[in-house]
Amino acid sequence: MARDLAPEVERLMRSRDANTKKKAALCSVRIVRKVPDLAENFMGLAVSLLKEKHHGVLISAVQLCTELCKASKDALGYLRKNCIEGLVRILRDVSNSSYAPEYDVAGISDPFLHIRVLKLMRMLGQGDADCSDYMNDILAQVATKTESNKNAGNAILYECVETIMGIEATSGLRVLAINILGRFLSNRDNNIRYVALNILMRAITVDAQAVQRHRVTILECVKDADASIRKRALELVYLLVNDTNVKPLTKELVDYLQVADPDFKEDLTAKICSIAEKFSQEKLWYLDQMFKVLSLAGNHVKDDVWHALIVVISNASELQGYSVRSLYTALQAYSEQGSLLRVAVWCIGEYGEMLVNNVGMLEAEAPITVTESDAVDAVELGLNRYSPDVTTRSMCLVALLKLSSRFPSMSECLPWYQVVTWKCFSMLMRIKQIVAQNKENMVLELQQRSIEFGSIIQRHQSIRSSLLERMPVLDEATYLVKRASATQATIPAYKPAAVTPGGLKLPNGVAKPAVAPLVDLLDLSSDDAPATSAASATTAPSDFLQDLLGIGGTNLSTAGAPSSASTDILMDLLSMGSSLSQNGLPSPAQEKKPVSAAPQVGSLVPEPMDLLGSLSSSASISGTKSTIAAPQAVDLLDGLSPSTSVSGLEDTRPSITAFQSATLKITFDIRKQPGKPQETIIHATFTNLTSSNYTDFVFQAAVPKFIQLRLDPASGNIVPANGKGSVTQGFSVTNNQHGQKPLAMRIRMSYKVNGEDRLEQGQVSNFPPGV
């Protein structure tokens, strides 16, 4: 019916009656939505309607142009050349027009037409420098002349800012738009402030310096009464943090932590801890901030945060005395904070003699007087206060056992039945008595610890000092890799985010590459198989498929294509269904198919709770953990590990074109490590061959079971148009059957073009010999 009516609608769009033209234009909008192929029939008429004077006709014509841009790329190109001048004229006329009662809304002339034109301008200017340059002047005029004291004016300003941030605008125009958002943050209307924060979060990737100028106002929004504004402002502050402003921003957030609502403290503490870990350049400053957070909101701190703090303290030998004294002092005032108590108890048990003897005093630190009895009192307080918490009570029992050999008077004691000094005897008896209180505890963990620790104190005095030697320094880099892996494993779906230049920063200021993001790859141990590839003419041999699938008897046709019986299995490797549409988009059935989980590999280090002595010695450690391969381990406080390779000794191989289509090109730069023939380091470069930017770009790869794959983070998630820039990503593969089976890989790239999801896949089988 739409095809039959289209000629009649075209005729009515040429009518002299304005109302008829408007209705015909609205009808054509619905025709284009139903039949996008008819878009070319209405392009010329849409441009001609933009010359009308009647506002109703103009709004309908602008809406028609918008639908044409969505329906056809040819229409988008045509309108960029022919209607941008008309749009600028319309916007100028409406902005400068005198008062007209029929179009006036709160003193603003036809804000609806304003907004429609600005939206269409954003579509036309996105990715097109010429169009953007032509509309810069009129956008600046609208941004400066529109009143912001009325809601209609704010609606126009908001749309104007969205357009400026969406096109290839000049830096001065973007600064003007960000300044408008700064004014929005001072508005009384919560909705206006919220949308301003949302746009500023996108704008920070374009002009971070301009957003930094409004830092004070953004910080005030963190203290807003509205929970949504607080949360969004906190996320924006987190993005604003850099090496130069980390200390003042952290101080502001910590100060607000004292008066923040309980419901908001969890988010606030998580951000403060993350900022302290990533941007701290001094270990002392990092420890001070963490101690403040534990004191003010210890009950809201997650376990992995205080686990990491203990790891840092164990590696900072020069600050261990300062740490135990600071934690003991904080515990006297904030004993109700659970995480503070756990860290303090661990440090008191490990460094009790430093606490009592004021070992390792810093210049600015004031000495404190703590007796051996005071230290035991602090641990006993935690044992009694947190009776329902098995973890805390277990840590307190371990700390008491350690204190029985930490103090100087204890180390000189003979077995308890040959007591030399009353002080030694009384302290041992007190510790033994406290420990014995849990001998009949209903919790088996506490009962077992109590009995075993009492036996060590009473019957094994001769081996107690060697048994309770100080804990070895915890491997910080390995723990951080495990922690990041565990964190990523809990994320149900990965969405790329802007990567901070320089990667992860650790408390001593040493830069460490961020852990590779969790990619939705397949479980290589399952019965999945690779999809056929249009990117490579070489067909994978049958033994490669059997290794990849873990199944036997896969039949291939003589042409290398999978047989009909195995088509579904072969196309299921990356959960993409049985077919792809011509434009690379999955079919509706494919979109609903879940992606397989990441490979299961062995745990890198024992559970953090076991490191802290809070689990039983007989507790089993999980043999397999869901984890992600991470970049080379970096020591948190001592820089790169001795095993770090020297890039100058690497063997460079010829680059290959791993994948190329009409829209995307991928090249692999290949290097081999000397003395490691099985390991190959690959640097992938992604180049956009089209005229539109690719956003939310994600690269994924799958390899056979005999190959191990380790992905590093990509340099970004936006691939510039026309090959004017590229995104890079490094990864390494280890071929456990090097020399017997060749390296092969399936790859998949997902991205968005003007908000539309795209998906491409292929197989790489042209690796050079010896790889």
Q: Helical H runs in 204-261?
A: 208-212, 215-222, 227-240, 246-257
Whether residue 183 sits in one domain with residue 124 = no
Taking residues 97-107, report their average pLDDT: 77
Whether residue 658 sits in one domain with residue 749 = yes
pTM: 0.57
How far is Cα 404 from Cα 115, in angstroms, rounded to an integer?
75
Q: Helical H runs in 83-150?
A: 84-96, 111-125, 129-145
Residue 592, judged by CB atoms within 10 A of its CB (0-12, 13-18, 19+), counts as exposed
CB 187 within 8 A of CB 155: no
How far is Cα 554 from Cα 93, in angstroms, rounded to an integer?
70
The first and second tokens of residue 159, run together, are: 């749309």
Sequential DSSP letters for 42-74: HHHHHHHHTT---HHHHHHHHHHHHHHHHH-HH
Whether residue 185 sits in one domain with residue 114 = no
Lowest mean pLDDT among 317-321, 370-374, 460-464: 460-464
How far is Cα 453 from Cα 461, in angstroms, rounded to an integer?
11
The first and second tokens of residue 508, run together, are: 């001593």
194 pLDDT more than 90: yes
Taking residues 226-248, report their average pLDDT: 91
Q: Is residue 475 part of a domain?
A: no
Final residue in a domain of this structure, among 82, 108, 127: 82
The predicted pLDDT at position 650 comes to 55
Q: Is residue 698 part of a domain?
A: yes
Helical packing angle, 303-315 and 476-489, nearest 10°: 170
Q: Who's near 145: CB < 8 A, 6+ residues apart?
A: 95
Whether residue 159 sits in one domain with residue 198 = no
The predicted pLDDT at position 556 comes to 36
Final residue in a domain of this structure, among 240, 259, 277: 240
The predicted pLDDT at position 409 comes to 53
Q: Is residue 510 part of a domain?
A: no
Q: Is residue 406 part of a domain?
A: no
- Domain around 219: 170-240
The predicted pLDDT at position 106 comes to 81
How far is Cα 193 from Cα 557, in angstroms, rounded to an integer?
62
How far is Cα 615 from Cα 618, in angstroms, rounded to an integer?
8
CB 283 within 8 A of CB 319: yes
Q: How confident is the model at residue 288 (pLDDT cuts 50, 70, 90)?
A: very high
How far is Cα 257 from Cα 250, in angstroms, rounded to an integer?
10
Whether residue 661 sits in one domain with residue 700 = yes
Condensed to tens digits (0 to 9), the pLDDT of residues 730-765 reads 998 888 888 888 888 889 999 999 888 888 999 888
The total number of structural domains that make up the chain: 4
- Which of the 8 DSSP states describes residue 694? B
Q: Is residue 674 part of a domain?
A: yes
The first and second tokens of residue 512, run together, are: 């460490």
Count the residues in the chain. Answer: 771
How do 676-688 and 726-735 pair as beta strands? antiparallel
The first and second tokens of residue 696, run together, are: 């939310």
Mean pLDDT of the chain: 76
Final residue in a domain of this structure, among 222, 240, 258: 240
CB 222 within 8 A of CB 184: no
Q: Is residue 73 part of a domain?
A: yes
- The contacts found for 538-547 with CB under 8 angstroms, 24 or more apart, are 538/763, 538/765, 538/766, 539/765, 540/744, 540/763, 540/765, 543/741, 544/704, 544/741, 544/742, 544/744, 545/570, 547/704, 547/705, 547/706, 547/741
Condensed to tens digits (0 to 9), the pLDDT of residues 125-173 reads 998 888 999 898 999 999 998 888 888 889 999 999 999 998 888 889 9
Whether residue 164 sits in one domain with residue 182 = no
Nearest Cα residue to 340 out of 304, 379, 299: 299
Q: Who's near 126: CB < 8 A, 6+ residues apart?
A: 166, 167, 168, 754
Sequential DSSP letters for 572-583: TTTT--S-B-TT
Nearest Cα residue to 473 out of 643, 274, 638: 638
The partner residues of 635 in beta bridges, in order of sequence, read 639
Q: Is residue 135 part of a domain?
A: yes
443 pLDDT more than 90: no
Whether residue 105 sits in one domain with residue 52 = no
Whether residue 653 sits in one domain with residue 751 = yes
Whether residue 106 sits in one domain with residue 68 = no
The predicted pLDDT at position 115 comes to 93
Nearest Cα residue to 664 out of 640, 649, 634, 684: 684
Taking residues 188-199, report their average pLDDT: 91
* Range from 103-117, 408-422, 599-613 that averages highest in pLDDT: 103-117
Whether residue 189 sits in one domain with residue 154 = no
Whether residue 143 sits in one domain with residue 132 = yes
CATH code, domain carrying 234? 1.25.10
611 pLDDT more than 60: no
CATH code, domain carrying 717? 2.60.40.1230
Nearest Cα residue to 695 out of 727, 723, 650: 727
Whether residue 107 sits in one domain with residue 202 = no
Cα torsion angle, 118, 124, 127, 128, sign: negative
Q: Who's near 736: CB < 8 A, 6+ residues apart?
A: 678, 706, 707, 708
Q: Is residue 515 part of a domain?
A: no
Lowest mean pLDDT among 164-168, 329-333, 425-429: 425-429
Q: Who's near 90: CB < 8 A, 6+ residues apart?
A: 50, 58, 62, 113, 117
Q: What angle do CA 135, 148, 232 make, to 5 degrees?
A: 90
